[in-house]
Every structure is written in C-alpha cells, then in structure tokens.
Structure 1
C-alpha cells in the first residue's frame, strides 16, 4: 500500500487549503450569524447566502463532486484513497462540505442513485443533485424500533397496481429540513414474510408527495443544525409510481450495504479533519495563555495531551487510508472489517482530542466563541450514526471468531442503521 499523494491530489489539496484560508475560515462566524438572523426572523430553515455565494467559486476552482468515483456524470470524482485527504480538510469546518457538493446525506444518496438507479431515475434525481440544484434525505431510522438492526424496520411499502403505497414514521432524516430537499430515499418492507434480509426495499419519494408530513426538527445537544436539520417525518398513504423502486423488491438490504460503506468512511475522514482543527486550536491557545507562572503549553499535562493527540490522529488516518485503499482495490464487502474498525476509532479519537482542546480553552471551550462545542456534539452523534459502536464491535468480534471456528466470514453481516 502506497499512501503518497499523487501530483493530481497534491494540487487539489493545495487548492482546497487555499480556498479554506480565503473563503471558509474567515466566514465561520458569518455562517452562524446568518442562520441566527434567519431564526430571529422566524425561519431558520433558509439556505444561507454565504454557501450559495461560495458554491460557484468552488466549481470554478475544480473542487466540486470530488467524492463520486467511476461516474461518467461526475468525471471529476476521485477514488476513496484520493478523496481521503481532501474530505479530511473539508471536515475542519462543519458546514464546509456543502460548498463543494460533498456533504452528507447527498453524497450517499448520489452514490446510491449512480450505482443502483435506473437511467430515468438518474436523469430526474441524480443530475440535479450533482449540479447542486436540489438536496435530498435518507429515511431509514424509525422512532418505534431499535434501528441499529435494520430488519426491525416497520415502514410498509405495498404494491398496488402500478403504484406503491407507503406508510411509516421515520426520524433522524438528515437534510430534510432544507427547503431545497426534493427527494427522500426511503427504506421499508415490501414482504414481511420473506427471508430476514430480503424483506426490505428502497424507494424514491418526492419530498412534496401527498401524505408526507415533516413533524418536527430534532436537536443534537441543543443544536438544531439549521438549515440542514434532522427531521421526524410521517409517511401516511403516500403513493409513488412503481418505477420509483430501486433495483427491485427485496434489494434494500443489499443497497444499504453499498450505500453505507462509503458514507461511513467519509464521516471518518471528516472526523480526522475535525481532530486536526481541534489540535491546532489547542496548541494556539496553550501557547497564548499563562497560568501559575508559565504558559499552558509549558504545563506537562498539556504537552502529554498534545503528543497523545498527534499519535491518535496519525493512527486513525493510517487506518482510514487502509480502509479506503481496500475499498478501491477489493471492494466494500471485503473491506467491511476495516470500515467497521475506522468507524469505531475515528469518532472516539476525535471526541478525545476535541475534549482536550475544550479543557485548554477553559470556559471559552464550552461556549460558542470557538467551534469546539459544536464539533464535540457532531462527533458524539457519529458514535450512533451509520451504526452504533457496539454493533460494529460485535460484527468485528464475529469476524475474528469465525476465522478461528472455520466459519465463512461472509456469513457475518455488517450492521446497517441510518445514513447521515
């Protein structure tokens, strides 16, 4: 495995870093001020002018749709290994990925449409998503069942002639708060009597279809993540054409496996970027502040944490690159153990580093005067999103045990939960 940046990636990386210095970091406060202004005006769910101003600049810089490999519709797309250092940089500021059309859940939904959609579905939905004209949401998790086991899903998708009738309730539907959200990819059951992993299907539902009702936004440690949002949604007697099914009935679990692998590693790439940002803020604060007669940077406890943070970040980065390399070379299914490992490691690592950075900042660290508190809330959520730690650990343990019991590792199914 060779993890050196190719000349192409090195050039993109330098261009992206310059874009951050010029357009992202100087506008961090403006983004939040704009959202707050919209909230005070009575509607926080309004796209920010800032991001809409920056999108054309990102496209002009050739920093658009970098996440999607092997797509004729997005020839600028990179391999997972190539994308990793760029996605990491995007993760340094929570709202930045949208500027480059590389934000969840749109990235996962676009990959789903590219890999599993019909030509008609791609023309209607994928192309406007790739152009940044609309946004989308992924409706998988449900409030009434333990969705860490996707076979528990109760949302029903019933064929009636040339239509499907959909009934269910979903939540943590990230992106559904945005008024530009025009498409829901919904997972539900088409045949409760089929085999455990053949009951589920995925179907495309227009966000404005009759019977769709957004019940409420959900907050994460007090943050509503407007204008993106995580919504609870009711689907009551929603009818869509039968042609809106993805791949066919009973293929939902298969599609989810393909969708969530890239989504998980993208989250991990961004987690490493968040940790890098936190470490930089920690060092800057430690150098600038004095306590008990010397700078905080001179305190041995701070030095130990800085050193440990650097080790942890580098370890997580190497595991992410290994997983990305395997996804590119042997496929997501073979790389399922590495994907699960980094999904456990990266958010926990980022939480530790961010927590130490908060500690160095003192009271300021838990306020909104720095991005640290919000970064911590987002990373804590990732220990649940796309599969809780416990499910990934259980799957990894079964893979290890199967090797010693001479059981086929393919019999162990990776966990499936909501996609962010």
Structure 2
C-alpha cells in the first residue's frame, strides 16, 4: 500500500487545508446559526449562503474531488488520494457541500458516471457536477431489510416505452431540499429472474406524476438534510431513465454502499479529530478540584482511547481505499464491515466526551460539537447496525 501522496496530490491537499482554514472556518459560526434556523423551518433556503464559498472552491480547483478517473472532472483522484481530503472536510459539518462533495449526491454521481448513458449524463449528471441541482437516493423500505433483497417490494413494470413504478421508500435523504431534481430508485423489475438480477435503478424526475412525499423525518438539527418517506403510485418514467442495464440494481447498490461507507467513515474520523482537539483544549483550562481536568486519570484514559482508536481506524480506512483502487471498485464485505463498525461508534463516543468536557458551552453556535454530533447521529441511523456488521465480520472469518 502507498504511504505518501504524489507531489500533485500533496499540493492539492495543502490547498484544501488552507482553503478550509481561511475561507470555510471563518464562516462556521454564522453557517451553524443558519442551519439551526433551517432545521426549525424546513425548506428555508440555505444554499445561497454557501454560494460565495463554492465559487471560490471552483476557482481554486477544489471541486468534485470525490470523482475518480472521470472525463467530467479535471482532478481524477484515486480513492486513496481522496481519503485525507474527505477526512479534512469532516472537521466542519457542512464543509463537504462547499466542494460539491456531500451525500447523497456523491454516491449518486458516481453511479451515474459509471453506469448511465451519455444522454442521461448530459441531462442529469452534469447539472449535479455544477451544483445546479441536487439528488436523492431511495433504496430502503419500511419493514424491509436492505441486506435481504427478497424483502423489498417497490416494483416497476414495463409498459411500452415507460416503466410504471409503485412502492414505498423510507430514509430518503435529500428529498426535502428545494434544489433536488431527481431521485435514484432501487426497484424490482423482473420477478422471474434470479434474485440477484431482479432489481434495477431508475432515475425518477422529482416532478413526475405519482411521486409523493410522505412523512417528513426531521430531527437532530439537520434541516434540509432531513429524511422523508416517498410513495410511488403508478409513477410513469420513460424507459430511457433506466440507469445501466436491467438487473444491475443490486450491483449498483453494493457499489454505492462501498463508496458511501468509506466516505462516511473518513468523514467521521475528521469530525472526531476536531472533537478531540477541542476536548484537549478545554481540559487544559477546566479544573476538577485542585487539578486541571487534563491530568485526571479518567480524562487521560479517554484521550488515550480516542487517539489510539482514531489512528488505528484511519489506517484501516486508508487500506480500504487502497483496496478499492486496486480491485476496480470492489472491496471485501468483511473489510467494509470492520471499518463501519469502528469508525462511526468511535466518532460518536469522542463527540460525546468532548460535549461532556465543554458542558453547556457545547450546545451553542460558538462550537461545532452540536452540529457534528447531529450529522454523526444521522449517519449512524442510515448505516447498518453494529450487531449486523459484527455478524458479517464473523461470517467472513468462518469462511477463511
């Protein structure tokens, strides 16, 4: 595995860190306040506040860094090269959106870049790459297990030149953003095929008749990143909106899970590093009896646990990114499960300790802890349960 970036990538990383420090971080408090207001009033536009920073990021060549080896981006970074960059973005809850590198769009854009036809890329991918629109991802369903495809019921039936879509999706991220123009829907398209070929992905324009937003799942202060249920009632979609080929749905689902799982693990490490930095800084001024809190054995144990966990998990994440590059986007399920079972729980624990160290100050806009904690909680809710990840790791071990 590589241990040092190329000079080009090293320069790009330095520019990104400088941009975060000089352009993004000075706006952090005002943006955090705006995000809190947006959470209280869903639909309130906040993207206008990001526009000046986004324009600067584009001019600085720090745009669409997540998209590897594509004719539609000038950077063409590998997963391993991008890994420290998404981690750096994780230090500020909303920073990834400044660089057009936020979920659910990054996962959707990579799917479209890999599988969509050229006309579909021109019509739907290019506006996403320019941040003119946003997108949503609809895969999970109520009372269904996404890891057991036979439990999914949303179905599309071919009628002439159209697909007619019926079903009920939940945990749809991005659906409430007023900029969202389309959603990618995992649906069953051939019940007679073998299970792994029964599913496809359809690109559904947001204004399609028969597409309805159901329950809005607000919470944790995430505003327009909140989730929603989406219902499809005889929604008619052109056959040209099939992404890839019929029967490739589960292949796309797994490809997206690998990319998103890696990115979210790395993002969470950045959030945890920021929390640890703030915790250590606070403990050096907070007193517990006759001594500074930083010298108390309990806090020293927590600092040691966080540092050890972050460094070892980062090594696993970098190895996973390298394997994705070496294996053409493939990654052993056991590898991803190990990373996900470590990264998000560790980040949440570190955030919790930092919040405890700061006491009531942690809840204000002057510190990023509340916003980072909200985003991590949302990620954890969307990720597989740790118990399921442990079962997957054990299963892989038994097959060795």
Normalising by structure 1, report the TM-score.
Answer: 0.90
Q: Name the residue aligned to 2:18.
A: 18
Matched, 1:227 2:240: no
SS at match of 1:288: coil
SS at match of 1:104: coil
Please tell me whether the aligned partners of residues 203 and 243 of structure 2 are also in contact (alpha carbons under 8 angstroms).
yes
> Structure 2 matches for 1:109-258, cutoff 5 A?
109-220=108-219, 222-223=220-221, 225-258=222-255
Q: Distance in 2 between matches of 1:179 and 1:99?
A: 17
Give 1:385 deviation, angstroms: 2.2
Please tell me whether the aligned partners of residues 35 and 48 of structure 1 are also in contact (alpha carbons under 8 angstroms).
no
Q: Name the residue aligned to 1:77.
A: 76
Q: Name the residue aligned to 2:377.
A: 380
Please tell me whether the aligned partners of residues 177 and 231 of structure 1 are also in contact (alpha carbons under 8 angstroms).
yes
Identify which of 269, 282, 288 aligns with 1:272: 269
Q: Name the residue aligned to 1:105.
A: 104
Q: Name the residue aligned to 1:92.
A: 91
Q: Distance in 2 between matches of 1:183 and 1:316?
A: 35
- List per-residue Cα deviations over 1:345-374 (Å, max 9, x = no partner): 110111121122122112333566533233
Give 1:95 deviation, angstroms: 0.8
SS at match of 2:237: strand
Matched, 1:297 2:319: no
Q: Name the residue aligned to 1:413.
A: none
Matched, 1:393 2:393: no
Give 1:152 deviation, angstroms: 1.4
Please tell me whether the aligned partners of residues 47 and 178 of structure 1 are also in contact (alpha carbons under 8 angstroms).
no
Please tell me whether the aligned partners of residues 36 and 223 of structure 2 are also in contact (alpha carbons under 8 angstroms).
no
Give 1:247 deviation, angstroms: 2.0
Count of residues in Structure 1 that have an aligned counterpart in Structure 2: 400
Q: Distance in 1 between matches of 2:35 and 2:305?
A: 36
Q: Distance in 2 between matches of 1:333 and 1:109?
A: 17
Normalising by structure 2, report the TM-score.
Answer: 0.94
Please tell me whether the aligned partners of residues 274 and 350 of structure 1 are also in contact (alpha carbons under 8 angstroms).
yes
Q: Name the residue aligned to 1:327.
A: 324
Matched, 1:363 2:353: no
Q: Distance in 2 between matches of 1:43 and 1:142?
A: 23
Give 1:340 deviation, angstroms: 2.0
Give 1:68 deviation, angstroms: 0.7
* Structure 2: gaps spanning 5 or more residues: none
Give 1:11 deviation, angstroms: 1.5
Please tell me whether the aligned partners of residues 158 and 165 of structure 1 are also in contact (alpha carbons under 8 angstroms).
yes
Q: Distance in 1 between matches of 2:38 and 2:359?
A: 30
Please tell me whether the aligned partners of residues 258 and 331 of structure 2 are also in contact (alpha carbons under 8 angstroms).
no
Identify which of 303, 316, 329 aligns with 1:306: 303
Are residues 300 and 43 of structure 1, via their aligned partners in 2, closer, same or farther at CA, if it must alter by over 3 Å? Answer: closer
Aligned-CA RMSD value: 1.9
Q: Distance in 2 between matches of 1:384 and 1:19?
A: 31
Q: Distance in 1 between matches of 2:147 and 2:263?
A: 19
Q: Distance in 2 between matches of 1:181 and 1:205?
A: 11
Are residues 107 and 334 of structure 1, via their aligned partners in 2, closer, same or farther at CA, if it must alter by over 3 Å? Answer: closer
Q: Distance in 2 between matches of 1:401 and 1:339?
A: 17
Give 1:36 deviation, angstroms: 4.5
